């Protein structure tokens, strides 16, 4: 077939990129080879627009075993235990086909984890939808939640945390970010780097079909009016087969059979074979006739570019093929030796006794384009007008409006569709600051959180990037864990637009600053560009997945109040920052102004001091203050514990609404027994921590002195109102 400009364009290859391909090869590629370049050079696989800036992120500390570049990151959690984790996007597929898109997103991230030799112990998710009134939102929400629950529940892995947010910028481009966490032994981590010449290349798992072809390329392009036509690019998942694949892989990994292993995710057999051989500086030869196919007459092009799910590629030690095959056959899975490693540094594909492709591996991987795209600053502050008379708004009615809004309402409708307790080690389930999983058979646990920043990043990407790292840090601190590391999923629009690229560059800058200062490195992640439809981009949405270690579960904290008549304190200074706050947004419909600034010294100092107070048994409950400010955080603590609080605003120059709804960072609400106040006060003063005593716990009512008094049943009803009513209408 003659390669025409139209064919090149349809493969997402620019004319300049095609010229580079011809130069690298010294000839024109055939159609199959063009497809391989399309798969490996697209944004989703090559990171050609982001690589320059991703390299600026901190990726190491004394806990990091494996940073970016592998299927998942790995950190040390002591006692020869390692935590393996990663977050990835499945945005485009989930918009096109919400159930399967979300389901296969979960399946893909789980494979990334157990490919490293880890048994998955938890999943989390961050899902973003358009305006609730948009005609597509309700169905998309239903489909995505069902897909996440359907796959994870069948796999028998608890979903213990996440977030659901709404914003009109996602009307035509939803976000589905899935995170998985697994447990492995430090001395049994498996990698994707191929080693050795003439070693067997083995295909295991499900058969290859025609689903998902060009899925990675589709993820690197904007949507248009023909989005429905892209349904064939969405993969179809089978969680029951994945469960079998998980068990078979972990069984095989018990001995020295596996040299390297890679899941077939984006770009399928193409990316897995290229990445394994390229990392090992080897060549690889594959006989496509030996690839198990579930459909007749599949072409080499279809076989190589299929993104059928539940498949793995292995390099197996010589002489171990038969014993390995026995394991996979026992689990009812396909096992086929499809090729071998070579010393050619080329990818050679055979089909029907003919050579159908022969490409230098470097041309597909190391020589992929790397762009230094133009960008403009987004973080310049404009002169703004503060809304007038906002302090005259009724305090209770304002709180009511925030609690009843889609983004601040209780999300149990979502998480109750997920199995939260399977495996029996879920200590804290969704609804807290972080999920907590016990390390099976031990009195230690890991804290897990996922958080995103939209409004803050849109207003000021640098500040927003810092804030979302710090939000994850505080959520881990609040349950009594020592933060270790993060994974990130960076969701943006078209990087070829200078403004969008600027949002990305500055967000990375903010993330890097915060991670460096907090010693909170990035060990894995994903970049999702081209989240646009008809030239309208999503708001910049960096998502952070954080992990922390609780060495002694007896020191774990929760946000629910424990006893009446205990003191309630605010740790950290309140200045009353209302720009970009939920109060301004939900009560006044005002979206202008800068986000709150981050003082990284205060963030670290306050957080580490909180951990010290926890270790000394001086705190009864902890909750970080974030969206909605003090009053919303206090409401959540009361609802969770079914215990009330009576507070008064300290005498200062801050107006009432600013104090109670301001979203200043680096703050926590803590519950303290009176007998511990003296020691606690001394420690806070010794560490130069600003704090204020604002009230006490009580029964039945949440009360702000001289303002309002509300029964807990009523406030809980308000918090649940939106979701309960949203789905009363037929979907």
User: Which residues, other chains included, contact 14 with Cβ-Cβ below 8 Å and sequence gap of 6+?
Assistant: none
DSSP three-state, residue 628: coil
User: Which residues, other chains included, contact 704 with Cβ-Cβ below 8 Å and sequence gap of 6+?
Assistant: 395, 631, 647, 648, 649, 660
Of 656, 655, 636, 652, the C-alpha closest to 644 is 636
The residue with tokens 């290349």 is 201
429, 435, 439, 440 alpha-carbon torsion, rounded to 10° = 10
DSSP three-state, residue 161: strand
**Could you tell me the CA-to-CA distances from 112 to 193, 291, 521 in Å, in that order?**
14, 22, 19
CA distance 369 to 363: 10
Is 90 one of the annotated active-site residues of the chain? yes
Of 666, 664, 663, 668, the C-alpha closest to 680 is 668
Is 44 one of the annotated active-site residues of the chain? yes
Contact 143, 102 (CB under 8 A): yes
Percent helix, strand and coil across the chain, each rounded to 5?
A: 40, 25, 40
Of 327, 291, 270, 115, the C-alpha closest to 202 is 291
In this structure, the chain runs to a length of 731
Contact 526, 541 (CB under 8 A): no
- Please state, as a whole number, how many other Cβ atoms lie within 10 Å of the Cβ of residue 317: 18
Catalytic residue among 90, 214, 455, 623: 90
Catalytic residue among 11, 23, 44, 214: 44
CA distance 54 to 24: 26
Q: What angle do CA 548, 673, 611 make, to 5 degrees?
A: 20
- Please state, as a whole number, how many other Cβ atoms lie within 10 Å of the Cβ of residue 34: 22
Tokens linked to 623: 């909750």
Tokens linked to 312: 């793995």
Q: Among all residues, which ones are annotated catalytic?
A: 44, 90
């Amino acid at each position: 077939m003659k390669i025409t400009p139209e064919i090149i364009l349809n493969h997402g290859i620019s004319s300049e990129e095609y010229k580079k391909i011809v130069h690298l090869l010294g000839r024109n590629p055939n159609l199959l080879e063009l497809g391989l370049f399309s798969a490996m050079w697209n944004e989703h696989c090559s990171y050609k627009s982001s690589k320059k800036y991703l390299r600026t992120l901190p990726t190491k500390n004394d806990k990091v075993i494996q940073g970016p570049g592998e299927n998942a990151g790995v950190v040390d959690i002591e006692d020869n235990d390692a935590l393996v984790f990663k977050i990835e996007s499945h945005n485009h597929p989930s918009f096109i086909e919400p159930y399967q898109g979300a389901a296969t997103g979960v399946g893909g991230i789980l494979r990334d984890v157990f490919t490293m030799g880890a048994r998955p112990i938890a999943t989390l998710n961050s899902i973003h939808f358009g305006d609730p009134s948009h005609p597509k939102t309700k169905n998309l929400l239903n489909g995505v939640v069902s897909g996440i629950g359907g796959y994870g529940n069948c796999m028998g892995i608890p979903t213990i945390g996440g977030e659901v947010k709404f914003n009109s910028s996602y009307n035509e481009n939803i976000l589905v970010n899935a995170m998985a966490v697994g447990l492995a032994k430090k001395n049994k981590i498996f990698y994707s780097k191929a080693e050795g010449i003439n070693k067997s290349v083995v295909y295991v798992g499900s058969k290859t079909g025609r689903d998902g072809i060009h899925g990675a390329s589709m993820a690197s392009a904007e949507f248009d009016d023909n989005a429905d036509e892209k349904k064939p690019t969405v993969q179809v998942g089978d969680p029951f087969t994945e469960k079998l694949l998980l068990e078979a892989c972990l069984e095989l990994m018990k001995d020295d059979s596996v040299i390297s292993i890679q899941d077939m995710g984006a770009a399928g057999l193409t990316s897995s074979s290229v990445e394994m051989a390229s990392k090992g500086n080897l060549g690889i030869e594959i006989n496509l006739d030996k690839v198990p196919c579930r459909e007749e007459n599949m072409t080499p092009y279809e076989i190589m570019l299929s993104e059928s799910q539940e498949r793995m590629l292995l390099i197996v030690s010589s002489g171990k093929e038969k014993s390995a095959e026995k394991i996979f056959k026992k689990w009812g899975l396909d096992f086929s030796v499809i090729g071998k490693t070579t010393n050619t540094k080329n990818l050679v594909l055979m089909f029907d006794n003919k050579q159908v492709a022969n490409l230098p591996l470097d041309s597909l991987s190391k020589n992929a384009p790397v762009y230094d795209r133009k960008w403009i600053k987004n973080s310049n502050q404009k002169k703004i007008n503060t809304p007038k008379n906002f302090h005259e708004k009724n305090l209770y009615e304002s709180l009511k409006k925030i609690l009843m809004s889609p983004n601040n309402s209780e999300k149990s409708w979502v998480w109750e569709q997920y199995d939260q307790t399977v495996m029996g080690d879920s200590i804290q389930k969704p609804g807290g600051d972080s999920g907590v999983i016990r390390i099976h058979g031990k009195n230690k646990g890991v804290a897990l959180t996922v958080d995103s920043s939209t409004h803050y990043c849109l207003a000021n990407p640098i500040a927003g990037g810092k804030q979302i790292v710090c939000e994850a840090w505080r959520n881990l601190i609040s349950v009594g864990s020592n933060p270790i590391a993060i994974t990130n999923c960076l969701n943006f629009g078209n990087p070829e637009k200078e403004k969008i690229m600027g949002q990305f560059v500055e967000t990375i800058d903010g993330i890097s600053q915060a991670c460096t200062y907090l010693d909170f490195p990035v060990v894995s992640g994903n970049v999702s560009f081209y989240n646009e439809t008809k030239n309208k981009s999503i708001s910049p949405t960096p998502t952070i997945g954080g992990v922390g270690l609780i060495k002694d579960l007896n020191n774990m904290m929760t946000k629910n109040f424990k006893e009446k008549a205990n003191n309630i304190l605010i740790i950290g200074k309140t200045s009353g920052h209302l720009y970009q706050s939920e109060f301004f947004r939900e009560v006044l419909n005002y979206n202008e102004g800068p986000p709150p600034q981050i003082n990284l010294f205060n963030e670290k100092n306050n957080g580490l001091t909180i951990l010290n107070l926890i270790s000394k048994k001086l705190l009864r409950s902890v909750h970080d203050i974030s969206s909605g400010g003090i009053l919303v955080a206090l409401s959540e603590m009361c609802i969770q514990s079914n215990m009330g609080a009576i507070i008064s605003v300290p005498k200062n120059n801050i107006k009432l609404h600013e104090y109670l709804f301001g979203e200043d960072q680096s703050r926590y609400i803590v519950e303290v027994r009176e007998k511990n106040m003296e020691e606690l006060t001394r420690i806070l003063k010794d560490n130069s921590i600003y704090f204020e005593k604002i009230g006490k716990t009580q029964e039945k009512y949440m009360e702000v002195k001289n303002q309002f008094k509300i029964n807990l049943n009523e406030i809980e009803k308000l918090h649940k109102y939106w979701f309960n009513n949203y789905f009363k209408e037929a979907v």
